[in-house]
Homo-oligomer: A and B are copies of this chain.
């Protein structure tokens, strides 16, 4: 009955990651059992444990996937930026891309924050994201802003804050992006 095929590992792992995000989206929280994830991915709980070792590592893999997806979005936006001054705006636009507002992705991000406070490995992953965002912004603002380091910090926090509000209030994603771009312009154009 069981028909094993070789080379299933990457397929199974990917299916589990996708299923995890989907389940988190459906439940709206981390209250998701390994059984639910495995069923959605079309396999037994035992197999899920076999490939990932435990629930924690399944969640961590799902979060890594979301961060990778986000990084891709930002890179795509950056590639389209022509002027040096346009790079900061591109990062903002990438951060508010459609894919970031998929219901399952929003749920995942919220649980991400909730989990980071207690789970060191999750916190490390979140710090990685925060550092990358700040570094990208600092680099983009060098030359166009009077204070690249501080302005990058401000923009990074503003992006997180606006995302949080937009994601949680079901408001228009576009408003949030516009608000961020507006502030970016204000920071750049100020006389100091």
Q: Which residues of A contact B (CB under 8 A)?
A: 27-31, 106-107, 110-111, 113-119, 123, 126-127, 130, 150, 153-154, 156-162, 164-165, 168-169, 176, 179, 182-183, 186-187, 189-191
Contact = CB atoms under 8 A, between A and B. Distances in A.
A153 B179 contact: yes
Contact of A130 (B115, B116, B157, B169): B169
A176 B157 CA distance: 10
A150 to B, nearest CB: 7
A164 B114 CA distance: 11
A164 to B, nearest CB: 6
A117 B160 contact: no
Contacts of A179: 150, 153-154, 157
Contact of A186 (B28, B165, B186): B186
Nearest to A134: B165
A56 to B, nearest CB: 12
A173 to B, nearest CB: 14
Contacts of A182: 150, 154
Given A169-B127, A186-B190, A28 B158 contact: no
Given A165-B130, A169-B127, A28 B118 contact: yes
A126 B168 contact: yes
A183 B192 CA distance: 12
A146 to B, nearest CB: 10
Contacts of A113: 110, 113-114, 164, 168
Contacts of A107: 117-118
A29 B183 contact: no
A79 B27 CA distance: 43
Contact of A117 (B106, B161, B186): B106
A191 B179 CA distance: 17
A28 B115 CA distance: 8
